[in-house]
A = this chain, B = another copy of it.
């Protein structure tokens, strides 16, 4: 009984934590880490600043939790693709789609990656060294790549070379969308871009 009670409480607290995390995610990605203030987040949550500190011990910790959360979420989506019985080319297409759909429907996630995580090294240097906070996401890309190589679809090259292409490309497009310089809507680039990625990475004897 008591344990149930405690569990329930913990769950409730954990749930509130995530709510805060999502509110902060939105603000950080819109306004940036330094422009967003703790009172901003508290106001959005309709809770007091003091209470916010009962859930997160500092602004930095909050930012780190968010990147872990986003990385996990993206990883799960890519994980699903990795486990489908489809061609490497189709996998690329689906990953691009997942990314672009997210950039359009939940731009906070992608923007957080680009504008908060990538840009503010000092915020993540103590706790997220060496990209460990985005490890789940990187792992899935690595799985995708290695399976593609094993299947003979992708050339065997340094993983980072492939990773930089894949994620740099997608991130670059998301950035251009954020700057409102794209002449067409982001999702309409999906096929072209998936094709480009496939051509760049595919092994010479793979299918066109």
Residues of A in contact with B (beta carbons under 8 Å apart): 31-35, 114-116, 118-122, 130-131, 157-158, 160-165, 167-173, 175-176, 178-184, 189, 192-193, 196-197, 199-202
Contacts and interface: CB of A to CB of B under 8 A. Distances in A.
A160 B178 contact: no
30 contacts: A32-B34, A32-B119, A33-B34, A34-B34, A114-B119, A115-B119, A118-B119, A118-B175, A119-B119, A121-B178, A130-B180, A158-B184, A160-B173, A160-B176, A160-B182, A160-B183, A161-B173, A161-B189, A164-B176, A165-B165, A165-B200, A167-B172, A168-B168, A168-B170, A168-B175, A169-B172, A171-B172, A172-B172, A196-B200, A199-B199
Contact of A173 (B115, B168, B175, B181): B168
Contacts of A34: 32-35
A165 B158 contact: no
A94 to B, nearest CB: 18
A133 to B, nearest CB: 11
A196 B130 contact: no
Given A32-B120, A179-B130, A179-B131, A169 B165 contact: yes
Contacts of A192: 157-158, 161
Given A115-B121, A180-B130, A200-B197, A189 B160 contact: yes
A140 to B, nearest CB: 16
Nearest to A189: B161
Given A121-B115, A158-B183, A196 B201 contact: yes
